[in-house]
C-alpha cells in the first residue's frame, strides 16, 4: 500500500512538473487520458515486419534481459513517431547512446535508442505520428553492432512491455511522414 501511495505521489509530481513546462495542458490531458494503442506501425521508415525479430527477454550480458525489439536498417534511416506524443527526453545514456523518450497515449513511454542523431524535435514539444524524431545508428552499447533502432515501451502499471505483438497487430503498416 505504501508503494502504491508513493507511486501515485511521484506520478502527481511528475505530471505537475510537466504541466508547468508544457504550453498546451489540454493537449497533454487528452494524450494521457487516451487509450493505450492496441496496434502500432513500424517506427523505422521503409522497414517491414519480416525484418523485425522478437528479441524480447533475450539475455544481454550476465545481469539483464532485452526489454524491447531491435529494428535493423541502414544508418541514417528516419525513425518516426509511431504515436502522437510529448517528447520527454532527448539525450544520451550509457546503454542507449543517443535516445529519445516520448510520452504517448495511456501514459506509455516509447523509448528509442542507439540513434545516430536526433530529428528536429525539442523536449516538451508535441509530435504527431510520423514526425521524424531521430535517425538509425549504433550509439551507446551498440557501437560494435550493425545500425539499428532499439524500440522499447514502458507502461505505467506494467513496466516494460514487449512492442513486438503491437507491431504485429499493426500489420506492418509503415508510419507515414508527418507534417508537423
Output phi, psi for 167, to 5 deg: -65, -40
Residues of the domain holding 87: 25-169
Residue 70 falls inside a structural domain: yes
Residue 6 falls inside a structural domain: no
pLDDT given for residue 27 in this prediction: 85
Name the band, by pLDDT with cuts 50, 70 and 90, for residue 110. very high
Query: Which percentage of the chain shows pLDDT scores above 90?
Result: 53
Q: Write the CATH number for 100.
A: 2.70.70.10
**Of residues 87 and 51, more confidently modeled:** 87
Name the band, by pLDDT with cuts 50, 70 and 90, for residue 179. very low
Amino acid at each position: 500500500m505504501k508503494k502504491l501511495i508513493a507511486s501515485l505521489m511521484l506520478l502527481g509530481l511528475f505530471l505537475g512538473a510537466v504541466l508547468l513546462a508544457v504550453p498546451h495542458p489540454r493537449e497533454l490531458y487528452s494524450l494521457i487520458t487516451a487509450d493505450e494503442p492496441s496496434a502500432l506501425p513500424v517506427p523505422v521508415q521503409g522497414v517491414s515486419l519480416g525484418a523485425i525479430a522478437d528479441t524480447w527477454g533475450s539475455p544481454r550480458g550476465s545481469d539483464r534481459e532485452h526489454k524491447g525489439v531491435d529494428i535493423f536498417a541502414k544508418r541514417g534511416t528516419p525513425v518516426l513517431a509511431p504515436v502522437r506524443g510529448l517528447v520527454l527526453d532527448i539525450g544520451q545514456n550509457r546503454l542507449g547512446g543517443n535516445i529519445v523518450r516520448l510520452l504517448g497515449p495511456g501514459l506509455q513511454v516509447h523509448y528509442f535508442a542507439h540513434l545516430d542523431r536526433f530529428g528536429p524535435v525539442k523536449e516538451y514539444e508535441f509530435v504527431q505520428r510520423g514526425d521524424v524524431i531521430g535517425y538509425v545508428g549504433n550509439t551507446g552499447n551498440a557501437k560494435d553492432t550493425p545500425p539499428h533502432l532499439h524500440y522499447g515501451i514502458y507502461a505505467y502499471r506494467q513496466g516494460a512491455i514487449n512492442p513486438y505483438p503491437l507491431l504485429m497487430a499493426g500489420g506492418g503498416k509503415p508510419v507515414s511522414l508527418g507534417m508537423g
